[in-house]
Structure 1
């Protein structure tokens, strides 16, 4: 008895791992272990030599803990359903398919081009969805058959897709960061700012791995064949469009500085981006063909998600909006993007709402289970 009482914390932790390995849901494993070891701890308190500090009144306080500011009434956690809804709407609207097709065509002529595209699109999806499941499922269903069709090694293709999908764990607006911010008592904005650079570094390391693999094992990731490059060649046109956009943004910045001060750089960049986007839309709609097809596609496909990223993360980092407000704007922006593509319907909205409810409830149950587990774990000197 004394051995069990004085080593309750490691036994409790080992029991939690065992429950999860057996296959029990994480939320119920946490709650069940917390309650079970609470009862055992209260009974073994006389044998613990002061190592266990548990009493029945602590259990009575749990409902107040759940419905207080820690879980059910926590404003920070309100951002979770907004970001989840935004991510699922974007996934249902076909953004991943458009991005993969466009970036794949852009990098297709070089060895490992599809792998670069998967990593880049994975980072973009992470920055716009924040939901790992949405990123991994979208990337796996869309890119794996294409990569295998064009001769990619199965192990390399699977590894690249799995790695790119996990970027949603660390690149803001990650749901994991919101939960961590709540548990650590830090602001979500600070967590996002702290995770942004590591997320970009991780993306760079994945890209470096592909570079090395394309040199060491070139046959495992070949370039796209000529017949698969449907958008043709147009990188020079794309670079010219980029230079024009930067020049217009720079000119707009100097024009706006006297009136807008510190905000002139953001407004100037917005002017440059909007200008080149409108030009690409008109060029395609009116068949002017001033830009190459590749340049048109890259500009039209890339700018909306980048604008959405700024709408969400930019406003949070600049202090214009709280994470909850940024998530709400992102949800509205995702609906607008889906509507612009003609892919917004009641079925999409219903599916997004149902998935958001399930995922948000899942996170909520985990937090409640973690609260029960931590109460007992701290009480047994864990």
Structure 2
């Protein structure tokens, strides 16, 4: 019945019913049916109030609305326009300079907002028409914007990493409890932030190298923006556009990584800094602030409603023996821990077509992570791999969320076929990044070990 519950939930979610109610409603029906057949104990459902109290009193999850507020304010303050203009001037004489500017600005936006949809839509509206007018290949232009937008999943401070950090921390404690091995080590959001920095930067570097290689092969499709020499008089404008967001990101990340502040405290500093930055540029009036606060409340309410529904689902799933069944299935797969990890990564990748990262984080990760951690996987490595995996599924045709975001704002001349063709090379790059991470886990674990010992 546990596996049937999981399959039915996936089918119900595909009908368009709100995720939180789909999870909670389906779980309650299965709990009722299970109790009628004597295979479910209602004590699991009565544990829900304690679980909800743990959610609302969770210090780490308090960072979610603050990071969302930071991202929404930066998005509404037109920061991307200034950044893109400054980068375009900096790389204007370089072949493929516009594409490189889009990737660097997208990476900065990803680090600033952590919201994939916002980054893809913003970059699509601003840069896609310009790239097409400059003679860039439509497929490449669309693929570059989609791929850059999904960096919000992996480059910290990412909301996905905040949620994964909290879930993996609980899974790590469960794994220790079940294995009977207790250690003072734990996994935190700061660990995941540190672990994601190197893979995230490598991914940006790989995108740029691929772009430079393409511009070398097809120089006519990547014309420079200008033939005029770079002028030193542009430096103050460039610094004014780059320094504020870079300082804000460095302040938020640095305070977390070096233990000066908790993720929640750093998120509060980030939200306040974004507010001051927007006010300093006279980009945030009363109406914009009201809109930003309402958007923050909407996104936060959605996240926590899904978390409540996922908590009920997880209790019923456990009560039906699903946790034990999943552990036996993963343990019995050929190849041991490698086979189990591959199976989980494939499942997460496929579910990324129909579910958002929030649902996967709250529903799937708590089910599979304890078993994988009991097999000896490093929780930081697992968290970074899951984030990269979700990022890849967000790009993969025909269901990738990033494709839908860009399709909604793209010019009419851009066909779905061209969009799908454009993202394929970037999907390959991300799969190669996951492969590199599988062979060299130190790419994710070296920096956390260096910082935290």
Which TM-score band applies after superposition, normalised by the shorter structure? 0.7 to 0.9
SS at match of 2:213: helix
Shift of residue 308, structure 1, vs aligned partner: 0.4
Structure 2 gaps of 5+ residues are 170-186, 323-453
State the Cα deviation string for residues 81-130 of structure 1 (Å, max 9, x = none). 11111111111111100001111221122222111111111111111122
| Pairing 1:65–2:51 present | yes
Residue 24 of structure 2 is matched in structure 1 by 31
- For the Cα contact (< 8 Å) 2:120–2:150, is it kept in 1? yes
Alpha carbons of 1:98 and 1:19: their partners in 2 closer, same or farther (altered >3 Å)? same
| Pairing 1:18–2:11 present | yes
Alpha carbons of 1:153 and 1:20: their partners in 2 closer, same or farther (altered >3 Å)? farther
Shift of residue 78, structure 1, vs aligned partner: 0.7
Aligned pairs, number: 305
- The CA distance in 2 between the partners of 1:20 and 1:293, in whole Å, is 55
Alignment of 1:296-307 (within 5 A): 296-307=236-247
Residue 287 of structure 1 is matched in structure 2 by none
State the Cα deviation string for residues 312-335 of structure 1 (Å, max 9, x = none). 111111111111111111111111
Residue 85 of structure 2 is matched in structure 1 by 101
**Structure with the greater alpha carbon radius of gyration:** 1
Alignment of 1:257-296 (within 5 A): 292-296=232-236
- For the Cα contact (< 8 Å) 2:44–2:316, is it kept in 1? no
Shift of residue 168, structure 1, vs aligned partner: 0.7
- For the Cα contact (< 8 Å) 2:44–2:319, is it kept in 1? no
| Pairing 1:200–2:193 present | no
- The CA distance in 2 between the partners of 1:344 and 1:333, in whole Å, is 13
- The CA distance in 1 between the partners of 2:163 and 2:121, in whole Å, is 22
Residue 132 of structure 1 is matched in structure 2 by 116
State the Cα deviation string for residues 222-281 of structure 1 (Å, max 9, x = none). 32244xx7xx513xxxxxxxxxxxxxxxxxxxxxxxxxxxxxxxxxxxxxxxxxxxxxxx
- The CA distance in 2 between the partners of 1:219 and 1:356, in whole Å, is 44
Given candidates 316, 320, 328, the residue that maps to 2:256 is: 316
- For the Cα contact (< 8 Å) 2:165–2:189, is it kept in 1? yes
Shift of residue 42, structure 1, vs aligned partner: 2.3
Alpha carbons of 1:380 and 1:141: their partners in 2 closer, same or farther (altered >3 Å)? same
Given candidates 361, 367, 374, the residue that maps to 2:307 is: 367
| Pairing 1:189–2:163 present | no
Residue 384 of structure 2 is matched in structure 1 by none
Structure 1 gaps of 5+ residues are 1-7, 46-51, 235-291
- For the Cα contact (< 8 Å) 2:45–2:316, is it kept in 1? no
- The CA distance in 2 between the partners of 1:126 and 1:207, in whole Å, is 16
Alpha carbons of 1:212 and 1:32: their partners in 2 closer, same or farther (altered >3 Å)? farther
- The CA distance in 1 between the partners of 2:316 and 2:42, in whole Å, is 11
Residue 261 of structure 1 is matched in structure 2 by none
SS at match of 1:115: helix
- The CA distance in 2 between the partners of 1:30 and 1:161, in whole Å, is 33
- For the Cα contact (< 8 Å) 1:156–1:220, is it kept in 2? no
TM-score (norm 2): 0.64
Alpha carbons of 1:43 and 1:92: their partners in 2 closer, same or farther (altered >3 Å)? same
- The CA distance in 2 between the partners of 1:42 and 1:218, in whole Å, is 68
Given candidates 144, 147, 157, the residue that maps to 2:141 is: 157
SS at match of 1:137: helix
- The CA distance in 2 between the partners of 1:315 and 1:373, in whole Å, is 35
- The CA distance in 2 between the partners of 1:106 and 1:337, in whole Å, is 23
- The CA distance in 2 between the partners of 1:38 and 1:305, in whole Å, is 49
Residue 49 of structure 1 is matched in structure 2 by none
- For the Cα contact (< 8 Å) 1:122–1:164, is it kept in 2? yes
Alpha carbons of 1:78 and 1:295: their partners in 2 closer, same or farther (altered >3 Å)? same
SS at match of 1:108: coil
- For the Cα contact (< 8 Å) 2:80–2:109, is it kept in 1? yes
